[in-house]
Structure 1
Amino acid sequence: MLRPSRFRSGNHFKPFIPPTVILSFVSFVNIANVERVSFAMPLDENRALIEPRKGKGEPLLPPSSILVFTPQDVELFLRRFASAVVKTHTVCLSQVYTIRCGERVVSLVGPLLGAPQAVMVLEKLIALGVREVVAQGWCGSLQSHVVIGDVVLPVNAVSEEGTSAHYPLTAAGPSPPTDLTRTLGKNLVRAGLRLHGGAVWTTDAPYRETVGKVLNYQRRGILAVEMETSALLTVARFRGISLAIALVVSDELSSLKWVHGFRRRVFHETREKLVSVILETFCGRGISAAFEARES
């Protein structure tokens, strides 16, 4: 029991403050001072708190990478290389392979679906050393002259996805095609594929491709709809890497009815040819010709 006499000072009582309370008060004062100082400092409000980086034990990748959206197309690439493929690790649910083609080693990454996963994969690849990417996917045509089995080469995109808006770009408007896009386009034309260059519409909601939206984008000259391009183009521009995307037309919406071509021969033939063209772009014409001769 505490005795009041221990806390007397003359005829008055001194309040008893336990040491822990004093320490807590001092800590509170210090924290308050630190907070006042920190909030007075200028803040970079666009600075990300989490940046993509190489994880412990993760291998660095070669500077060139092939990004493949669909599992079916991943298999097409893997069949071309057989024993020349090394399965390394996964990145955001996508499998990473390294491939030796000719004198070069490239990475093959996929499958992936939608803007968020595509961007997470691309960000990680950049952190692991990738500096140029060719991506292969599928799209739905919005224009009557763009038909199943054609190839769309996006140079710009209208974003209806939620990812790219988080990447602030200093320059507004469409960016010019990269040298990689031009090279890929020339190789596609040389291979005899029907090619269309222009803008695409990127959506997060494939089951909300409404009549009104299709008509609006048709009038604006948008070629096709898909789920990854606008986000990938934005991140490539934000990070300063080279990116080219080639999309095989798998279905058509231009008549305001859904016409799919997933079983059509021309669709599958174009996918096979596109694999050859991408390999030619990264590895040289001799490599793709050798694979075609082996398969014939």
Structure 2
Amino acid sequence: MSSKSIKPKPPFSLPERVLLVYTRPDVLLLKRAFKLKKKGSFLLTEVFQREEAVLCGPVLGAPQVAIVLEYLKACGVKEILALGWAGAFGPELPLGSLFLPERALSAEGTSAHYGFFPEPAPSLFWWLYHQLIFLGLDFEVGTIVSTDALFRETEEFRKRFFAASAVDMETSALFSVGRALGLAVASLHIISDQLWPAYVRAPSALIRKATSALFPLFRNFWQTGAFELAKEGLTG
């Protein structure tokens, strides 16, 4: 039996930089705002493009992240900035605030197939960090845990992953698969839920406001990319 993995055939070519958006509401908002047209799809995930601006989404969970990254790699993509929603373990991360993961813990089953790697690409992470500061956007940096079980974020789960400030379903796979495929990846999250001490969900208008504030960042990402900024010494 061959030890070589199966590689997807690229259905089309793409620019080197792609914005990967996990949630459908954000996909629809960004598609309209940047006047993007549908280019194609990878299974359940659609690809939208206008010149160098490329958006891919929605994506739900670690397995779909891995599938989409494999396809993006095959299409010629080198750099992926992900935007998602995350639940906060406590009031330290207010609803609608921005969270920048510098490390991910895995409670999902996909990363192990690629070799678990818990961190984003330094070049893109620091580009994102400096962009947020430059644009005057408040954010917190910390650890996130990714899970497969959306409704099993129990007190026991919280204690087990006490080092994490937030939880989602994708980031640990994004980091691990991205590393294995040689892609530069990083993620940014909007806090959509507070899990403790009582469950509270952010209003849709608050999420839209947070996403809209990031439009200049996404435009800069498509136009310049982290690698160019890294050459200018802006990567920390």
**TM-score (normalizing by structure 1):** 0.71
Q: Report the Cα distance in structure 2 between the residues aligned to 1:180 and 1:70, rounded to whole angstroms.
A: 21
Contact 2:89 2:194 in 1 (8 A): yes
Contact 1:158 1:202 in 2 (8 A): yes
Contact 1:76 1:275 in 2 (8 A): no
Contact 1:184 1:278 in 2 (8 A): no
Question: Corresponding residue for 2:9?
Answer: 53
Contact 1:150 1:193 in 2 (8 A): no
Structure 1: 4+ residue segments shifted above 6 A = none
Unaligned 5+ segments in structure 1 are 1-42, 285-296
- The C-alpha deviation readout for 1:53-108, integer Å capped at 9, x for no partner, is 32xxx2211111111111111112112222xx2321111211111123xxxx1321
**Is residue 186 of structure 2 the alignment partner of residue 244 of structure 1?**
yes
Match of 1:271 among 204, 211, 219: 211
Shift of 1:175: 3.9
Match of 1:114 among 39, 54, 61: 61
Q: 1:110 to 1:174 in 2, by over 3 A?
A: closer
Q: Report the Cα distance in structure 2 between the residues aligned to 1:208 and 1:179, rounded to whole angstroms.
A: 34
Shift of 1:44: 6.5
Question: Corresponding residue for 1:234?
Answer: 176
Contact 2:16 2:79 in 1 (8 A): yes
- The C-alpha deviation readout for 1:7-53, integer Å capped at 9, x for no partner, is xxxxxxxxxxxxxxxxxxxxxxxxxxxxxxxxxxxx774x32x2223
Letter paired with 2:43: C
Q: Report the Cα distance in structure 1 between the residues aligned to 2:196 and 2:161, rounded to whole angstroms.
A: 10
Which structure has the higher relative contact order (CA within 8 Å, separation 6+)?
2
DSSP 3-state at the match of 2:203: coil
Question: Corresponding residue for 1:86?
Answer: 37
- Aligned residues: percent identity? 35
Letter paired with 1:259: V
* Equivalent residues in 2 for 1:126-141, closer than 5 Å: 126-141=73-88
Contact 1:139 1:225 in 2 (8 A): yes
Q: Report the Cα distance in structure 2 between the residues aligned to 1:77 and 1:176, rounded to whole angstroms.
A: 23
Question: Corresponding residue for 2:147?
Answer: 203
Letter paired with 1:181: F
Q: Report the Cα distance in structure 2 between the residues aligned to 1:200 and 1:175, rounded to whole angstroms.
A: 10
Q: Report the Cα distance in structure 2 between the residues aligned to 1:136 and 1:174, rounded to whole angstroms.
A: 17
Shift of 1:174: 4.0
Match of 1:186 among 107, 130, 133: 130
**Is residue 213 of structure 2 the alignment partner of residue 262 of structure 1?**
no
Unaligned 5+ segments in structure 2 are 225-236
**Is residue 15 of structure 2 the alignment partner of residue 62 of structure 1?**
yes
Shift of 1:133: 0.6
Contact 1:193 1:270 in 2 (8 A): no
**TM-score (normalizing by structure 2):** 0.87
Letter paired with 2:145: W
Q: Report the Cα distance in structure 2 between the residues aligned to 1:75 and 1:269, rounded to whole angstroms.
A: 14
RMSD of aligned alpha carbons? 1.9
Letter paired with 1:268: R
**Is residue 72 of structure 2 the alignment partner of residue 125 of structure 1?**
yes
Q: Report the Cα distance in structure 1 between the residues aligned to 2:120 and 2:25, rounded to whole angstroms.
A: 31
Q: Report the Cα distance in structure 1 between the residues aligned to 2:152 and 2:223, rounded to whole angstroms.
A: 39
Q: Report the Cα distance in structure 2 between the residues aligned to 1:269 and 1:189, rounded to whole angstroms.
A: 18
Q: Report the Cα distance in structure 2 between the residues aligned to 1:92 and 1:159, rounded to whole angstroms.
A: 24
